[in-house]
Amino acid sequence: MTQDDKVALKEFLRGAGSIGVFVAFIIIMLVIINVSSGGKPVESSFEVVDKYKECDVVRYAPHQVAEYKYFLYCPPPR
């Protein structure tokens, strides 16, 4: 094994190790997110709160935001 081969092997192992650490970090984050949500599906943040003419008034609450957004949902014409 030449000196160039040894250098190439060291670089390869460093790269593989770095990618392994990154993948492990992503897996740990996914497990933490799943555990923190209790394994339950996330509840919908949309709610029909009123009617306006033929349309539904929908309230939307983005996660981690202390305000509501409203929009009209109208069914397509028949």
Say how far apart CA 45 and CA 38 lie, in whole Å.
17
Q: Would strands 46-52 and 55-60 be described as parallel, antiparallel, or unpaired?
A: antiparallel
User: What pLDDT is attached to residue 36?
Assistant: 67
Q: Is the pLDDT of residue 67 over 90?
A: no
Say how far apart CA 30 and CA 21 lie, in whole Å.
14
Residue with the larger pLDDT of the pair 58 and 44: 58
Over the stretch 2-36, which tens digit does the pLDDT of each residue have? Answer: 999 999 999 999 999 999 999 999 999 888 877 76
Q: Is the pLDDT of residue 58 over 80?
A: yes
